[in-house]
Amino acid sequence: MIIHETDRMDATYETLAIPEAGSTCVVGLSGGVDSALTAMLLKEKGCRVIGVTMSKWTGDLDLPSGVEGMKGSCYGPDEEKDIAACKAFCAEQGFEYHVIPVGEAYHREVLEYFKDEYRAGRTPNPCIRCNPLVKFGAMIEGVRALGIQFDYFCTGHYARIVKDADGGLFIQSAEDSTKDQAYFLYRLPQETLSFVRFPLGTYEKKAVVAMARERNLAAAGRAESQDFVPPEYLDVIFSDKPPVPGDIVDLDGKKLGTHRGIEYYTIGQRRGLGVSSSRPLYVHSIDAANNRVVLADNDDLLEAGLVAGDWMWGGGAAPKEAFRALVKIRLASRPVEATIAPVPASESGLWEIRFENKQRAVAPGQSAVVYYKGIILGGGIISRAIHE
């Protein structure tokens, strides 16, 4: 197989500037410091700011209010506190403000997806699903349904948007690598990227907090929000169906114990396995067809590569041939050298990724995201690991 340097690696990219003075900017507010400062920077630039907040909570889950572990969660009954904070902030600054109900879309596209994926033996990423379909999907549709005309939709995400000479748009990593959220945003389509802006993409988090304090923003003292809900509430999320216990086995098929339901396990997991062993064991794979959780030694979790589908390519078009780049297989992993190649005769657009060095715990359902110099060339949903 001949490996090419994709033409996108020869391209020059221009970072899109934050909105110009006089433009109307809808800002997605969460009650946190990042979105609040985003709104202030736009106001100081001379933009007209309209604040909006998603209302996702529909009361369909029996999650308690005011519990320490739930503080800052992106889904739960305490969202009314965030909405109140956003409303007060906008009143103080003289911003028009709206609450956009997206509960139906969130339940369908995120909660149900989350449950279905885990019950199929995969490990989903709710935030990657939520961004294009809810936060930058249903919420923007809700704003437009109110008859609001705007030039830009802005959020406090730590990421940047760049374009190539042909006008193709790409997500780029933020200046602050410790807060970078580009990985979560790779599935935003070209049309959405054309009017979305991330004004904090060139700032470090500590500078954002300092600027918020200089402006006496109440949000500067608020705790950071979490993603989705804490693990201790999985029992509530999965309460719509009883779990189906099954066998825990080793790579040879020998039974080691009984699991409570495959939805409670993910690749690489060590704790809470419910088996006794003289050595550490980890979840190697989940055999959904036979309702089995397979355990192995840590070294057995090293994989040569993966196959991924449902790709979203930067610039709106897939590469024409195999190429080398950096790949991340989860948010917390570091980008690693790999070869990315189309799977021959694949009707569903599958691509194979071969790592330069084996990687640990490749989890189907997670996203494999391809980078070149911090620019996301594309990403897809992991279908399976390549065992060697």
pLDDT tens track for 111-136: 999 999 999 999 999 999 999 999 99
* Of the residues 259, 281, 296, the one at which a domain ends: 296
Is 299 exposed, middle or buried (CB count within 10 Å of its CB: 0-12, 13-18, 19+)?
exposed
CATH of the domain at 289: 2.30.30.280
- What is the side-by-side strand order in the sheet with 282-287? 255-259, 246-249, 292-296, 282-287
pLDDT value at residue 9 = 66
Contact 355, 372 (CB under 8 A): no
Length of the chain: 388
Residue 249 placed within a domain? yes
One domain for residues 273 and 327:
no
One domain for residues 195 and 317:
no
Contact 116, 129 (CB under 8 A): no
Range of the domain at 268: 242-296
* Of the residues 231, 253, 277, the one at which a domain ends: 231
With a threshold of 0.75, does the pTM exceed it? yes
Say which residue, 93 or 77, is predicted with more confidence.
93
CA atoms of 380 and 181, how far apart (whole Å):
16
pLDDT value at residue 230 = 65
Within a 13 Å sphere around the CA of 157, how many CA atoms are in the beta-carbon half? Answer: 23
One domain for residues 179 and 216:
yes
pLDDT at 61 over 80: no
CA atoms of 162 and 170, how far apart (whole Å):
5
Instruction: Measure CA 121 to chain center.
Output: 19
CATH of the domain at 118: 3.40.50.620
Residue 237 placed within a domain? no
Q: How many domains does the chain have?
A: 3
Say which residue, 86 or 58, is predicted with more confidence.
86
Residue 201: helix, strand or coil by DSSP?
A: coil
Instruction: Measure CA 336 to chain center.
Output: 19
What is 104-147 written as a DSSP string? HHHIIIIIHHHHHHHHTT----HHHHHIIIIIIIIHHHHHHHTT
pLDDT at 335 over 50: yes
One domain for residues 57 and 24:
yes
Instruction: Please state, as a whole number, how many other Cβ atoms lie within 10 Å of the Cβ of residue 369.
Output: 28
| CA separation, residue 102 to residues 58, 95, 137, 250 (Å) | 9, 21, 10, 43
What are φ and ψ of residue 127, in 5° steps?
-70, -40
Residue 221 placed within a domain? yes
Contact 248, 231 (CB under 8 A): no
One domain for residues 197 and 267:
no
pLDDT value at residue 226 = 59
pLDDT value at residue 71 = 47
Residue 209 placed within a domain? yes
Instruction: Please state, as a whole number, how many other Cβ atoms lie within 10 Å of the Cβ of residue 388.
Output: 9
CA atoms of 219 and 210, how far apart (whole Å):
12
pLDDT value at residue 66 = 54
CATH of the domain at 365: 2.40.30.10
Residue 304: helix, strand or coil by DSSP?
A: strand
pLDDT tens track for 244-272: 999 999 999 999 999 999 999 999 999 99
Instruction: Report the percent of the chain where pLDDT is more than 90.
Output: 82
One domain for residues 252 and 333:
no
pLDDT at 351 over 80: yes
One domain for residues 69 and 127:
yes
Contact 16, 191 (CB under 8 A): no
Instruction: Measure CA 159 to chain center.
Output: 12
Mean pLDDT check: name the lowest of 23-37, 169-183, 344-358.
344-358
One domain for residues 99 and 22:
yes
CA atoms of 215 and 211, how far apart (whole Å):
6
Residue 83 placed within a domain? yes
One domain for residues 273 and 342:
no
One domain for residues 247 and 217:
no
One domain for residues 132 and 42:
yes
pLDDT value at residue 99 = 98
Residue 180 placed within a domain? yes
pLDDT value at residue 42 = 98
Residue 4 placed within a domain? no
Task: With CA atoms as reference, report the closest residue to 128 among 272, 328, 321.
Answer: 328
Contact 195, 152 (CB under 8 A): yes
User: Residue 249 has which token pair?
Assistant: 């086995």
pLDDT value at residue 75 = 74
pLDDT tens track for 302-317: 999 999 999 999 999 9
* Of the residues 195, 211, 231, the one at which a domain ends: 231
One domain for residues 258 and 175:
no
pLDDT value at residue 1 = 38
Task: With CA atoms as reference, report the closest residue to 14 among 159, 186, 169.
Answer: 169
Say which residue, 225 or 81, is predicted with more confidence.
81
User: What average pLDDT does this structure show over 349-358?
Assistant: 96
Residue 5 placed within a domain? no
